Structure 1
């Protein structure tokens, strides 16, 4: 099945849902710099998928998927830090890390499926 719109990409859908959850978890956090950084990184995941999909080549799409994967790693790293700083409980941190690992695996599968 050929994907015709970025909105149909499972990784994009899950990344959007994940970002809403990240915003919810940190909306009351007083550490503005931390909150801003993790929210921006989370937003970048789905935005890079969307932007890459609408580029003119498979190579560009792959490049943007790798950027999206990098944002996943950034968010994951910040989630570990959020737990250490007591911004999130261990349980919530592990729950979100499990989701970001799943999204990363989906993106990796998408990267592997694109032949240049």
Structure 2
């Protein structure tokens, strides 16, 4: 299955693009680096996993992507609370990261069975 056709990959890639744009002017380079790295990790690990041959390898990379969703969600909560992002935008992206995580869970279950 081509990873580019997966809705979970498309949505996670779009979220990463939006985050990169939002933090382009952020002067807190440590925070900017951390949040953008966790965001880009999600679609990257989906892509890498789906290109692997074995089911166990696919599941492992998808699990890493799911973990990156939790990492990103934590950073979005912090960004909203400290004023790096408007609260409404942070909440929208937190919701999106939860949806992506659920989608990854379903994909993991499908591949595992």
Short-chain TM bin: over 0.9
| Structure 1: stretches of 5+ with no match in the other structure | none
Alignment of 1:1-116 (within 5 A): 4-115=1-112
TM-score by length of 1: 0.93
Task: Report the aligned-residue RMSD.
Answer: 0.9
Aligned residue pairs: how many? 113
How far apart are the structure 1 equivalents of 2:95 and 2:112?
28
Task: Name the SS for the 2:112 alignment partner.
Answer: coil
| Structure 2: stretches of 5+ with no match in the other structure | none
TM-score by length of 2: 0.96
The structure richer in helix per residue is: 2
Runs (4+) off by over 4 Å:
none
How far apart are the structure 2 equivalents of 1:43 and 1:99?
14
